[in-house]
Amino acid sequence: MKLLRFEFVCEMFILQWLTSSSTKRDLTHSPVVVGSLVIVVEDGSTLAAYSTESGNLIWKTPVLETVETSTDPIRSIAFNSQYLYVARYTWNLMAHDLKTGKIIWEYDLPGRSTSYVVTNERYVFFAAGDTVSILDANTGLDVWTYDESGYFGPILLSGNTLYITDERHAALISLDIDSHQIHWIRDLPISTYEFSCMLEVGDNLLIAAQKLVMVSKQDGSILWATDNLGYLECPVLLKNEIYIRNNQTDLYLFDKESGHEKGELQVRTNTVMKQDFFRGPIIANGLLVVPFGDNRLFVYQP
């Protein structure tokens, strides 16, 4: 990789607008861009929608009245053309109108479980604890529930198939969302309770745990798997290469087709008292932007 000095490429990252958030806490959840809105999580659970063009505040949700401050942080966000679906830890799933932020419906989630949510125009799918459920996207009514023995992690929707990670059994499940039939269940070459992320890569799935694993969507066969790399964050893809870091000081480069390691870069952990996960690189204008861990960004030309 070739290092570019950030000041030499800053014309590719022109500041369009800057606005101050009213929150008194760090913005720990990545913003979500939905059409002409950028949705920001403030104070752990409040949602604020800003115009992508001007930065003006379009709407903001009120602060939730919860018994414990630890019960409300947002864990997962998904959206379709009408609604924003937000799952909170030990709280519930809410559907918000994208134009106004108004709550359309709420659905109780299992307690003390991290929830994962994906959606299309018809259904909302969530995994929480030992349950995977399909809800009507407009009403929040139950459509179907999968509650076989397992403890479910990240999920991914591709066409009419829902892919479900089972953290208890270190397995991957392929489910037809129309017939509710299981296509296949495959064991993965990882330890249990390790899943952090799952991405769609063409006809395959890329799963991040302590290993990086490429799996066929068709039959669940393992195409390749790396050695243990430490707790991994979410990978990014550029050209035919995968970039991924762990929560320590290692940024890895892998070939997408073979899984062979092509390079490694030592970065830093976050600055003192800011040890939040998910500080991985992003892709912008064909460049690799790496948060270095000490409030600096390094920009690379692959």
pLDDT tens for each residue of 161-200: 999 999 999 999 999 999 999 999 999 999 888 898 999 9
CA 237 to chain centre: 15
Q: Which fold has domain 235-302?
A: Thrombin, subunit H (2.40.10)
DSSP, residue by residue, 115-173: EEEEE-SSEEEEEETTEEEEEETTT--EEEEE--S--EEEEEEETTEEEEEETTTTEEE
Per-residue pLDDT for 132 more than 90? yes
The mean pLDDT value of the chain amounts to 87
- List the one residue out of 145, 165, 89, 79 whose CA is nearest residue 118: 79
For 63, 91, 147, 252, 276, the CA distances from 233, given in Å and listed in that order, are 30, 25, 27, 11, 11
> Parallel, antiparallel, or unpaired for β 57-60 and 46-51?
antiparallel
- Distance separating alpha carbons of residues 278 and 255, to the nearest angstrom: 22
Give dist(CA 103, CA 301) in Å, integer. 43
Please state, in angstroms and rounded to a whole number, the distance separating the CA atoms of residues 10 and 1.
19
275 vs 170: which has the higher pLDDT: 170
Burial of residue 81 (number of CB atoms within 10 Å: 0-12, 13-18, 19+): exposed
pLDDT of residue 26: 65
Give the burial class of 91: count Cβ atoms within 10 A of its Cβ; 0-12 exposed, 13-18 middle, 19 or more buried: buried
- Structure-model confidence comparison of residues 103 and 14, the more confident one: 103
Among 29-33, 219-223, 278-282, which is the least confidently predicted range?
Answer: 278-282
Q: Which of 3-7, 43-47, 123-127 has the lowest mean pLDDT?
A: 3-7
N residues, the chain = 302
CA dist 202 and 196 (Å) reads 20
Average pLDDT over residues 291-298: 78
Are 117 and 126 a contacting pair, CB within 8 Å? yes
pLDDT at 19: 83
Contact 101, 119 (CB under 8 A): no
Report how far Cα 95 is from the mean position of its chain's Cα atoms.
18
Q: Is the pLDDT of residue 88 over 90?
A: no
Q: Rounded distance, CA 144 to CA 39, Å?
A: 29
Average pLDDT over residues 208-225: 97
pLDDT attached to residue 270: 62
What tokens appear for 183 in the block?
């296509």
For residues 268 and 103, what is the distance between their CA atoms, to the nearest angstrom?
A: 40
| 204 to 146, 199, 217: CA distances (angstroms) | 23, 9, 5
Q: Kindly report, residue by residue over 229-260, the tens digit of the pLDDT.
A: 998 989 999 989 999 998 888 999 999 999 99
pLDDT tens-digit readout, 52-75:
999 999 999 987 765 455 555 788
Task: Determine the pLDDT at residue 167.
Answer: 93
pLDDT at position 47: 92
Return the SS3 of 53.
Answer: coil
Share of the chain above pLDDT 70, in %: 86
Q: What is the dihedral of CA 226, 229, 230, 231, to 10 degrees?
A: -50
Lowest mean pLDDT among 77-91, 118-132, 138-152, 262-276: 262-276
